[in-house]
């Protein structure tokens, strides 16, 4: 586990950035006082329940809810017809005409208690005509498939059931590049459907408001996201929607399901009462969003001295029934594969396919996770087949700053080589673990990767008080990662004040669209970088306002003013300063027995807006059409030591050294925790997580049958922070929440090969898969004899 040396929050304002200060939300959380959506209640609140499809694909012939509607205590019954017609490939809140996956929401009720709501659901009769279904994307997209065609309004499909097809074409015609290669090596790699396993299942609480609008508390990644999504789903003015996001009990991409929030909202609008809609764990696992299963084919052309000169990838992402935001985010799969290796000739096709399964959604390092599994698995295999040390092989093929990546950007502040060499160095300094029993074999492996950073629109405001206290009012979703602390440290640094003199309003009130400017929300680990940048702009703005008043009234030069430690100070003459309070007027209350402060003519509130947009990729070649296509690239590398039991296939992972480029670590303890958490999540998925699908249905949607690892399975994890400040981020920071999940599974796979000489190409690497692979190897060896 990561060791964290925490420093008391009473630390002075000097150099707060870069310190492992203890988190400002810790006390609330460990004392159970932090409120999550599940904790909230409204007077006379109703309880929502959803009736779901028993079939993976069926036509809805008739919904008879008359019996439910006549029950005492039932206050609203809604179906898909209650919503405006869908205008995109997004999941509808409730199915209309057809259900496209098992457990899809069909009817919803609100009743005075959960038992009545449950009974009402059971009293609703839905008549279906079963239709053929398809769960294999390669079958779904083939021209021969005429059994299940999934069409959504407003989508641009090419061919059968294809939601999105991204292409990368670089260099010469790829077959020609293979023909001049010394070796051509192929591999096929698969990943499975995973749930996020966030602690808090999806929950919504909504009330109808007197102006015809509504207020909703929700487990979404952003309040403004929920607001605008809901406006679209409900067909009402977004400014009649007040969306609030309290603390989130874990996120990992799991909580962007605004179509489910829309069910709660519609129940509240129809019943004109407060409605709570809590999804069960089973509903969260089967009917919200999942990690896309994939099948990825890779073919490499390599010179005899180990240079990859051609790479062809065909990646099939099983998208499930709807587009959600995933069609738009297929780009993340491409971006994971363009800035690690320098490959002159590349031909990639990345295809997201509709099937009759729950929608593929975002999970920690979405889309890129699967691509990195395939690419690193393949890269390791090529190195081994060429008999070149895998570290050396990677070093020979890495991209470096100043070189053009596969989509034509000149890359900058990338630490591919530094990450890899620092991890290998630390790994080799550690002692090896060996198992004495004859059945255990020890192996070591490495893998690397890179994740893209996103842009978007972000607004923030800060208010400066007469005693130097700063209040930060912006949308910052605390999904567990420590973002409130990170941004508070940036502000404390900016005003040279102790962390305790910064009030983060989201810690007090949660997030609320009625009181803050717009932000894009939490996804893509973007809050620290992008909201952080907007907050810095707001800090500069308020300092400008202070400068104007200080100049008019105290003769400061506007450009010379800084605000530090509650004082207006001259930048050039540190001796010249006045307390901030001198810029404030005193307001008499009760004849000056109570005194309030205000600024004449203005308020010391600063605003910042960051709008970071990047160019589109050329649809035919995937090449960047502008200088930059993403915010940044972030390198990661990991080395794993483990032992495998050749009799049972059981694995003990002893040690993982995990390096990640943080740009600049604002709070190193939090960065190390994010690395550790990502590694644990990656290892858990690698060792056994799988939503098993049988007959179009997920069969293990419970915590006993869907296995995640526990602390008993966790290895020693040594996080390494690599710092090369980025030109854009606040103090050079990059987002740190996701990238470290990328290399874990392929590094484990490399170590398994190193230990027992078999390649596991299909995740998860379960004991059973290991035993099967060993059996295959034995059979092949027998054949050769």
Partner 1 sequence: MSVYNPSTLERPDSIEELISILKDSQGSARIVAGNTTIYELARQGAMVDVDKLIDISGLGLAYVREIEDADNQRSLRLGATTTFSEIASNQLLSKPPYYSLGETASKITPPQVRNMGTIGGAVCSGIPFYDMPTTALALGAKMSIVSDTGSRLVDVSDFFVDYFVTSLSQSDFLTEIQFKYEPNSVTSFEKLGRMAADFAVVNVSTRIVFEKTTRFVENARIALGAVSNTPVLAIEAAEYLKGREFSPETILKAASLAAEAVSEPMPSVHASSHYKKKVIPVVVRDALLSARDRVRSGGS
The residues near 680 (Cβ < 8 Å, ≥ 6 apart) are 709, 714, 717
Query: Binders of partner 1: how many residues, by CB under 8 A?
Result: 30
Minimum CB separation from partner 1 for residue 49, in Å?
Answer: 8
Give SS3 for 392.
Answer: helix
Rounded Cα gap, residues 84 and 502, in angstroms: 44
Subset of residues 487 to 546 that bind partner 1, contact rule: CB under 8 A: none
Q: Is 73 in the site for partner 1 (CB under 8 A)?
A: no
Subset of residues 746 to 785 that bind partner 1, contact rule: CB under 8 A: 766-768, 771-772, 775
Q: Is 282 in the site for partner 1 (CB under 8 A)?
A: yes
Minimum CB separation from partner 1 for residue 119, in Å?
Answer: 9
* Residues β-bridged to residue 164: 352
Minimum CB separation from partner 1 for residue 708, in Å?
Answer: 8
Rounded to 10°, the helix 532-554/483-495 angle is 30
Say if CB 7 and CB 21 are below 8 A apart.
Answer: yes
Minimum CB separation from partner 1 for residue 771, in Å?
Answer: 6
Residue number with CB closer to partner 1 (529 or 709): 709
Q: Is 695 in the site for partner 1 (CB under 8 A)?
A: no
Q: Where are the alpha helices (DSSP H) in 216-257?
A: 223-234
Question: Integer distance in angstroms from the first to the last C-alpha of the chain?
Answer: 47
Residue number with CB closer to partner 1 (52 or 164): 52
Residue number with CB closer to partner 1 (47 or 252): 47
Q: Is 702 in the site for partner 1 (CB under 8 A)?
A: yes
Q: From the list 30, 712, 781, 784, which residue makes contact with partner 1 (rule: CB under 8 A)?
A: 712
Residue number with CB closer to partner 1 (187 or 688): 688
**Sign of the torsion formed by the C-alpha atoms of 191, 774, 186 and 640:** positive
Does residue 413 come out as left (phi exceeding 0), alpha (psi in the -120 to 50 range) or beta?
left
Q: From the list 699, 757, 776, 779, which residue makes contact with partner 1 (rule: CB under 8 A)?
A: 699
Decide the pairing of beta strands 275-278 and 46-52. parallel
Decide the pairing of beta strands 716-722 and 651-661. parallel
Say if CB 236 and CB 266 are below 8 A apart.
Answer: no
Q: From the list 27, 692, 776, 779, which residue makes contact with partner 1 (rule: CB under 8 A)?
A: 692
Rounded Cα gap, residues 490 and 532, in angstroms: 7
Residue number with CB closer to partner 1 (620 or 710): 710
**Sign of the torsion formed by the C-alpha atoms of 329, 335, 337 and 338:** positive
Residue number with CB closer to partner 1 (30 or 704): 704
Q: Is 53 in the site for partner 1 (CB under 8 A)?
A: no
Return the range that interacts with partner 1 (CB under 8 A); candidates 403-411, 580-588, 710-718, 752-760.
710-718
Return the range that interacts with partner 1 (CB under 8 A); candidates 321-329, 414-422, 491-499, 703-711.
703-711
Residue number with CB closer to partner 1 (589 or 692): 692
Rounded Cα gap, residues 619 and 407, in angstroms: 12
Rounded Cα gap, residues 48 and 264, in angstroms: 7
Residue number with CB closer to partner 1 (279 or 617): 279
Return the range that interacts with partner 1 (CB under 8 A); candidates 140-148, 359-367, 621-629, 687-695.
687-695
Minimum CB separation from partner 1 for residue 700, in Å?
Answer: 5
Rounded Cα gap, residues 509 and 475, in angstroms: 10
Rounded to 10°, the helix 744-756/368-385 angle is 30
Residue number with CB closer to partner 1 (283 or 501): 283
Subset of residues 113 to 132 that bind partner 1, contact rule: CB under 8 A: 114-115, 118
Task: Using the structure block, give the residue that is written with the tokens 């854009």.
Answer: 728
Residue 292: which of 369, 209, 374 has the closest Cα? 369
Residue number with CB closer to partner 1 (579 or 767): 767
Residue 57 per-residue DSSP state: S
Structure token digits, residue 384: 């081994």
Q: From the list 704, 727, 781, 784, which residue makes contact with partner 1 (rule: CB under 8 A)?
A: 704
Return the range that interacts with partner 1 (CB under 8 A); candidates 264-272, 314-322, 339-347, 699-707.
699-707
Subset of residues 636 to 655 that bind partner 1, contact rule: CB under 8 A: 647-650
In degrees, rounded to 5, the angle at the alpha carbon of residue 265 between the alpha carbons of residues 252 and 245 is: 40
Residue number with CB closer to partner 1 (408 or 688): 688
The binding site for partner 1 (CB under 8 A) comprises 114-115, 118, 280, 282-283, 439, 647-650, 687-688, 692, 699-700, 702, 704-705, 707, 709-710, 712-713, 766-768, 771-772, 775
């Amino acid at each position: 586990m990561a060791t964290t040396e925490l420093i008391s929050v009473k630390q002075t304002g000097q150099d707060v950035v870069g310190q492992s200060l203890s988190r400002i939300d810790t006390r609330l959380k460990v004392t159970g006082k932090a409120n999550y959506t599940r904790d909230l209640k409204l007077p006379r609140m109703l309880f929502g329940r959803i009736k779901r499809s028993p079939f993976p694909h069926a036509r809805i012939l008739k919904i008879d809810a008359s019996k439910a509607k006549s029950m005492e205590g039932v206050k609203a019954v809604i179906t898909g017809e209650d919503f405006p017609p869908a205008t995109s490939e997004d999941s509808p809140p409730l199915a209309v005409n057809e259900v496209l996956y098992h457990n899809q929401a069909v009817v919803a009720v609100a009743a005075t208690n959960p038992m009545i709501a449950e009974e009402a659901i059971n009293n609703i009769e839905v008549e279906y005509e079963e239709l053929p279904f398809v769960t294999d994307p390669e079958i779904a997209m083939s021209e021969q498939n005429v059994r299940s065609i999934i069409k959504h309004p407003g989508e641009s499909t090419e061919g059968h059931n294809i939601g999105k097809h991204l292409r990368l074409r670089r260099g010469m015609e790829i077959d020609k590049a293979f023909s001049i290669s010394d070796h051509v090596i192929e591999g096929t790699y698969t990943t499975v459907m995973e749930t996020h396993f966030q602690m808090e299942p999806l929950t919504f609480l909504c009330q109808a408001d007197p102006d015809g609008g509504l207020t909703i508390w929700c487990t979404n990644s952003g309040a403004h996201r929920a607001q605008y999504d809901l406006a679209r789903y409900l067909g009402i003015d977004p400014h009649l929607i007040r969306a609030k996001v309290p603390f989130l009990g874990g996120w990992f991409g799991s909580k962007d399901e605004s179509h489910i929030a829309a069910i709660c909202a519609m129940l509240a609008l129809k019943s004109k009462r407060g409605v709570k809609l809590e999804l069960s764990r089973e509903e969260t696992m089967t009917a919200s969003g999942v990690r896309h299963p994939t099948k990825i084919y890779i073919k490499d052309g390599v010179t005899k001295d180990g240079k990859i000169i051609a790479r062809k990838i065909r990646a099939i992402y099983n998208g499930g029934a709807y587009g959600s935001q995933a069609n738009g985010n297929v780009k993340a799969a491409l971006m994971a594969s363009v800035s690690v290796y320098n490959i002159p000739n590349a031909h990639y096709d990345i295809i997201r396919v509709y099937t009759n399964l729950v929608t593929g959604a975002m999970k920690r390092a979405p889309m890129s996770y699967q691509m990195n599994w395939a690419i690193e698995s393949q890269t390791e295999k090529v190195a081994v087949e060429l008999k070149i040390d895998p570290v050396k092989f990677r070093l020979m093929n890495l991209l470096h700053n100043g070189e053009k990546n596969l989509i034509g950007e000149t890359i900058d502040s990338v630490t591919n080589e530094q990450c890899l060499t620092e991890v290998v160095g630390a790994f080799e300094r550690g002692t090896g673990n060996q198992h004495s029993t004859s059945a255990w074999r020890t192996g070591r492996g490495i893998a690397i990767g890179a994740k893209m950073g996103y842009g978007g629109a972000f607004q923030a405001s800060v208010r400066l008080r007469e005693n130097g206290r700063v209040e930060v009012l912006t949308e910052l979703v605390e999904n567990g990662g420590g973002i409130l602390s990170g941004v508070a440290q940036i502000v404390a640094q900016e005003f040279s004040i102790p962390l305790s003199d910064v009030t983060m309003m989201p810690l007090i009130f949660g997030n609320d669209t009625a009181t803050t400017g717009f932000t894009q929300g939490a996804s893509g680990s973007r809050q620290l970088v992008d909201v952080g940048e907007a907050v810095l702009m707001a800090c500069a703005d308020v300092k400008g306002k202070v400068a104007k008043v200080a100049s008019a009234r105290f003769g400061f030069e506007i450009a010379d003013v800084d605000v530090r430690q509650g004082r207006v100070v001259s930048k050039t003459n540190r001796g010249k300063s006045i307390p901030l309070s001198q810029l404030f007027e005193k307001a008499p209350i009760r004849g000056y027995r109570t005194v309030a402060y205000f600024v004449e003519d203005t308020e010391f509130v600063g605003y910042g807006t960051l709008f970071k947009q990047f160019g589109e990729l050329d649809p035919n070649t995937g090449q960047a059409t502008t200088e930059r296509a993403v915010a940044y690239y972030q390198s990661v590398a990991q080395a794993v030591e483990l032992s495998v039991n050749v009799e049972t296939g059981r694995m003990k992972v002893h040690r993982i050294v995990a390096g990640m480029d943080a740009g600049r670590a604002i709070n190193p303890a939090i960065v190390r925790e994010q690395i550790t958490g990502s590694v644990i999540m990656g290892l858990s998925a690698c060792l056994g997580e799988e939503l098993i699908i049988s007959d179009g249905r997920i069969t293990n949607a419970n915590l006993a049958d869907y296995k995640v690892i526990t602390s008993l399975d966790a290895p020693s994890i040594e996080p390494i922070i690599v710092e090369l400040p980025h030109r854009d981020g606040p103090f050079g920071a990059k987002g740190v929440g996701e990238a470290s999940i990328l290399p874990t599974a392929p590094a484990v796979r490399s170590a398994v090969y190193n230990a027992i000489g078999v390649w596991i190409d299909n995740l998860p690497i379960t004991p059973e898969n290991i035993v099967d692979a060993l059996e295959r190897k034995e059979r092949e060896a027998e054949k050769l004899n």
